[in-house]
Amino acid sequence: MRPEDILKFSLADFTYNDSETVLDPPRDFETWTSDPRIGVAMSFFEQPLQQAPTPRTTLDHRLSGGNREMINLTSYNYLGLSTHPEVVQAAIDALQTYGVGASGAAMLSGTFDQHEKFAAELAEFKGRDACMLYPSGYAGNLGAIQALMQRGDVLVIDSKCHRSVVDGVKLSGARLVSFEHNDAQSLDAMLERHKDSRRMVVVEGVYSMDGDLADLPPIAEVCEHHGVPLYVDEAHSTLVFGDTGKGVVEHFDVEDKVGVDFGTLSKSFGGIGGFVCADENVIRYMKCYASPFQFSCALPPAVVAAMRKSLEVATRDDSLRQKLWANVERFRTNLEALNLDLGESASQVIPIIVGSDGQELIQLAMEAQQRGLYLQPIDFPAVEAHARRFRISVSAQLTDADIDEACNIIEDVIARPTGAVGAA
């Protein structure tokens, strides 16, 4: 590695280890991470929260060397259910009944009455035959795709799909093919090219780094034309989109064109876990062959009990969704007035795209956090090198005062220095 190139490198560059023993990380990686400038960038990782992920939280903030209160724009707690009193009480009650862990894999001893009831409730909510739970969202995509696909099959995914989808297809042995983001014509070409193989298409309801929606109507039409099943990852859209919160599939009224409906419990639900809804025979089959389901301990029953309450709270009326959308609107209005590049966001995930300069991104992030804004930088390779960014996760719990204060800080530390508004 040439010293003058250190800042050009990223986490994308060290996956191959050229050391003689596997317990020696790559030599260049050691050189790279020991550079103080890279050290500053990495200090944003794993800063421990000292309180719940609410809009005002306390962070052990390494950049200023101690605990400090921050306005939190980073947690996925979109509906605030992580700390909803009824959800917390449901967890406490279940802890006293069931203890802390499930103490077994779902197929043997890890399934409790809570799991069974919740899976049925989720299937009913999503309007599907059946549902199965996974220990995490990552495990859900990994397991579902690994179980459904096999060597010789082709999984056709949107180019911006999550790593869990990519890892699932690697594990399955099927071939991975991607189509241009949200481009139904590109999808059509890929399905045509691989028409001699069994295929499945995967898209996301809301893309997590851009906040844009899958263009589902034409994508579903192309899938239907080719007779290929469509798998929709609603990790960021469940409980947020659709009249009843089913997700983007409901929002676009294409429920009857989707074969597999995936969701997570770690975002709007405020807990942890993943779930997959499909026809009963598909779920029965997946349960027998999805390794992350078979070989992981089941979700703790108290978490499941809490998630049942989250579902009840979020669907008994639309007040939380309405509050979230009001907050999204207020944020967008304020940020658009600052002339910031928000990409194609149409959801509660709002990027602020800064550009190609990684050092500038880190400098802006330091200033934002030193002003009390917990807003994380999203650098290459998580996003394209020319579109490094911040990502705001709007929560229904934010007050108007929180949003206005956050936008004032964003104006001072991002919009003005980058020239979006006024003089630096």
Provide, rounded to whole angstroms, the least separation between the CB of residue 297 and another protein.
Answer: 30
Q: Which residue stretch of 76-84, 132-140, 170-178, 291-299 sits at the interface with another protein (rule: CB under 8 A)?
A: 170-178
Q: Which residues 223-242 are close enough to bind another protein by CB under 8 A? A: none
In terms of DSSP bridges, do strands 199-204 and 388-393 run parallel, antiparallel, or are they unpaired? unpaired
Shorter beta-carbon distance to another protein: residue 274 or 358: 358
Residue 272 interacting with another protein (CB under 8 A):
no
Shorter beta-carbon distance to another protein: residue 276 or 378: 378
Which of 94, 176, 302, 340 is the binder for another protein (CB under 8 A)? 176
Provide, rounded to whole angstroms, the least separation between the CB of residue 15 and another protein.
Answer: 8
Amino acid at 420: A
Q: Which residues 341-360 are close enough to bind another protein by CB under 8 A? A: 358
Q: Number of residues in contact with another protein, rule: CB under 8 A?
A: 25
Shorter beta-carbon distance to another protein: residue 325 or 380: 380
Q: Which residue stretch of 169-177, 206-214, 299-307, 415-423 sits at the interface with another protein (rule: CB under 8 A)?
A: 169-177
Q: Which residue stretch of 176-184, 289-297, 303-311, 347-355 sits at the interface with another protein (rule: CB under 8 A)?
A: 176-184
Q: Is the previous residue joined to 351 through a cis bond, with omega within 30 degrees of 0? A: no
Longest dimension (CA), the chain: 64
Among residues 121, 130, 107, which one has the least CA distance to residue 283? 130
Q: Which residues pair with 202 in a beta bridge?
A: 157, 231
- State the CB neighbour count (10 A cutoff) for residue 171: 16
The residue assigned the tokens 């979230």 is 324
Who's near 382: CB < 8 A, 6+ residues apart? 209
Who's near 103: CB < 8 A, 6+ residues apart? 109, 110, 297
Among residues 268, 294, 265, 267, which one has the least CA distance to residue 276? 265
Its sign, for the CA torsion 235, 376, 333, 214, is negative
Shorter beta-carbon distance to another protein: residue 84 or 160: 160
User: Residues 334, 368: contact at Cβ < 8 Å?
Assistant: no
Q: What is the DSSP string of 342-359?
A: -TT--SSEEEEEEES-HH
Provide, rounded to whole angstroms, the least separation between the CB of residue 1 and another protein.
Answer: 6
Provide, rounded to whole angstroms, the least separation between the CB of residue 180 and another protein.
Answer: 10
Residue 1 interacting with another protein (CB under 8 A):
yes
Residue 17 interacting with another protein (CB under 8 A):
no
User: Using CA atoms, how far apart are residues 338 and 403, in angstroms rounded to an integer?
Assistant: 14
The residue assigned the tokens 């979109």 is 78
Shorter beta-carbon distance to another protein: residue 10 or 67: 10
User: Using CA atoms, how far apart are residues 210 and 348, in angstroms rounded to an integer?
Assistant: 10
Going through 39-82 in order, the beta strands assigned E by DSSP cover: 56-61, 66-72
103 burial (CB, 10 Å; 0-12 / 13-18 / 19+) is: middle
Q: Which residues 371-400 are close enough to bind another protein by CB under 8 A? A: 380-381, 384-386
The SS3 call for residue 193 is helix
Residue 221 interacting with another protein (CB under 8 A):
no
Provide, rounded to whole angstroms, the least separation between the CB of residue 186 and another protein.
Answer: 11
Shorter beta-carbon distance to another protein: residue 32 or 390: 32
Residue 5 interacting with another protein (CB under 8 A):
yes
Task: List phi, psi (to 5°) of 138.
Answer: -55, -45
Q: Which residues 19-38 are close enough to bind another protein by CB under 8 A? A: 28
Q: Where are the alpha helices (DSSP H) in 196-269?
A: 216-226, 248-251
Which of 177, 187, 232, 342 is the binder for another protein (CB under 8 A)? 177
Provide, rounded to whole angstroms, the least separation between the CB of residue 10 and another protein.
Answer: 6
Q: Which residues 77-96 are close enough to bind another protein by CB under 8 A? A: none
Q: Which residues 179-198 are close enough to bind another protein by CB under 8 A? A: 193
Which of 9, 44, 285, 325 is the binder for another protein (CB under 8 A)? 9
Provide, rounded to whole angstroms, the least separation between the CB of residue 263 and another protein.
Answer: 25
Shorter beta-carbon distance to another protein: residue 13 or 367: 13
Shorter beta-carbon distance to another protein: residue 13 or 69: 13
Q: Which residues pair with 132 in a beta bridge?
A: 276
Shorter beta-carbon distance to another protein: residue 207 or 275: 207
User: Using CA atoms, how far apart are residues 63 and 389, in angstroms rounded to an integer?
Assistant: 19
The residue assigned the tokens 């260049």 is 28
Which of 16, 21, 22, 316 is the binder for another protein (CB under 8 A)? 16
Applying CB under 8 A, the residues found at the interface with another protein are 1, 5, 8-10, 12-13, 15-16, 18, 28, 159, 166, 170, 175-178, 193, 358, 380-381, 384-386
